Amino acid sequence: MTCKLGVIEGFYGEPWSWGARTDYAGFLRKHGFSFYVYAPKGDPYLRRKWREPYPKAIEEKLTKLAGQCHSAGIEFGVGFSPHEVYLSEFGLETKRLLQARIDLFNRLRVNKLGILMDDMKGDLPDLAEKQVEIVNWMAARTSAKQVVFCPTYYSDDPVLEKLFGRMPEGYLGRLGKAMDPKVSMFWTGELVCSKAYTPEHLKSAAERLGRKPFLWDNYPVNDGPRMCPFLHLRGVSGRPPEIGAWLEGHAANPMNQAALSKIPLLTLQESYLKGAAYDPVKAFRKAARMVTCHDMAELLERDLEAFCDRGLDALSAEEKSALKDDYAPFLEEHENDTARAAREVIDWLAGRYAVSREMIIAQ
């Protein structure tokens, strides 16, 4: 592997619990991942409320989490998304508010600072220049050893122009030429949720961005109205280890279900390690047993079609009830990933993780 591999908690909907995040510090370290980035869309103080002071209770929890990651030998990151900051004048007041957030992140000893301007208005002729001015200003003031910027148009997917307006002419190239060379850039691939990556595509992206892309991999994420009815548990595919040579880093965006996410994440690590010998089916079986137990792993494999292909909306009330009954005995396990994963399956079947378009707009 020639790039660092990690996790970015960057999805819409219900964020992970603080306990799940603490658990991930040890999990990532144990299995060879390098970093964790805190960027849940459900934290308003990273997004729409970025101008307001962070509540003391949340700051204390972030401080503790950062310390746990550092103690585990995992780089700690934060994804900061100052909502449409570039639509107003970049004057003294805006700089003062941004500096307050940078000071907080510096106190947390953030290793990776993500400056995220995705999912925002984009059809402005001077969008690149406005964003470059802000990002370069912030990059000069952070103590983070790496800054990663997410452009408004972070993929070749035409859906971005449908949602956020027409991309300004030459936007990515203008970013690449003017952005501080030390700043990396997130990229999701040909699509927002790309099924596969090739060295050729990533080389092309690097040429446009003026640097190797930092891959924001939207698998196994399952947020949003279209994806929340599914549990993406299968072993990853379409991510050959050769892509690592063209990446600054590889961040996997997991599911709302923290324990279940460990299964596909372990297969991503194995796909890099095994290369041509990698088998996604065998990798799933191995990972499911590592995360849960033999009996539950067999149950999950049995139910892959229902969870990954048919989805919640296609399951009858009787099927949902029967599945809940099948997973309920695992709740009796001592508090571990088997019990946590079973709870996530049951809660998913009950509709707890539903994410509507209105929720996304609000976040």
Hey, what are 228's tokens?
Answer: 């929340």
**Could you give the percent of the chain with pLDDT greater than 70?**
100
Q: What is the pLDDT at residue 8?
A: 98
Q: What is the pLDDT at residue 61?
A: 97
Hey, what are 357's tokens?
Answer: 């378009």
Does the structure show a pLDDT above 70 at 351? yes
Rounded-to-integer distance, Cα 84 and Cα 48, Å? 9
169-197 pLDDT, tens digit each:
999 999 999 999 999 999 999 999 999 99
Rounded-to-integer distance, Cα 142 and Cα 163, Å? 31
User: Does residue 94 sit in helix, strand or coil?
Assistant: helix
Q: Mean pLDDT across the stretch 152-168?
A: 96
Pick the CATH number of 4-282 from 3.40.50.300, 3.20.20.80, 3.30.470.160, 3.40.50.620: 3.20.20.80
What phi and psi values does residue 319 have, to the nearest 5 degrees?
Answer: -65, -40
State the DSSP code for 308. I
**By 3-state DSSP, what share of the chain in percent is helix, strand and coil, each rounded to 5?**
50, 10, 35
Rounded-to-integer distance, Cα 198 and Cα 240, Å? 8
State the DSSP code for 327. H
Q: What is the pLDDT at residue 1?
A: 56
Residue owning tokens 């004048």: 89
Sign (positive or negative) of CA dihedral 109, 113, 115, 119: negative
| C-alpha closest to that of 116 among 87, 94, 142, 147 | 147
Looking at every residue in the chain, the average pLDDT score rounds to 96
Rounded-to-integer distance, Cα 150 and Cα 336, Å? 35
Q: Mean pLDDT across the stretch 282-295?
A: 98
190-231 pLDDT, tens digit each:
999 999 999 999 999 999 999 999 999 999 999 989 999 999
What phi and psi values does residue 94 have, to the nearest 5 degrees?
Answer: -65, -40
Q: Where are the domains of the chain?
A: 4-282, 285-349
| C-alpha closest to that of 148 among 39, 19, 302, 298 | 39
The least confident of 86-90, 125-129, 277-281, 288-292 is 86-90
Distances (CA, A) of 266 to 19, 25, 235, 261, 273: 20, 14, 8, 9, 11
**273 torsion bin: left (phi>0), alpha (psi -120 to 50), beta (else):** alpha
Rounded-to-integer distance, Cα 187 and Cα 167, Å? 15
Q: What is the pLDDT at residue 293?
A: 96
44-68 pLDDT, tens digit each:
999 999 999 999 999 999 999 999 9
Q: How confident is the model at residue 359 (pLDDT cuts 50, 70, 90)?
A: confident
Exposed e or buried b per residue across 67-82, where buried means at least 16 C-beta atoms within 10 angstroms of its C-beta: ebbeebebbbbbbbbb
Q: Could you tell me how many helices (H) and strands (E) the chain has, helices first? A: 15, 8
Using only C-alpha atoms, the chain has a radius of gyration, in whole angstroms, of: 20
Does the structure show a pLDDT above 80 at 286? yes
Does the structure show a pLDDT above 80 at 146? yes
- Alpha helices by DSSP H, listed for 108-170, are 127-139, 159-164
E-assigned strands of the chain?
Answer: 4-9, 35-38, 75-80, 112-116, 146-150, 183-187, 213-217, 249-252
Q: What is the pLDDT at residue 224?
A: 86
User: Does residue 211 sit in helix, strand or coil?
Assistant: coil
Q: What is the pLDDT at residue 11?
A: 95
| Contacts of residue 308, Cβ cutoff 8 Å, sequence gap at least 6 | 230, 231, 232, 233, 234
Question: What is the model's pTM?
Answer: 0.96
Whether the ω angle into residue 241 lies within 30 degrees of 0, i.e. cis, is: no
Rounded-to-integer distance, Cα 222 and Cα 8, Å? 14
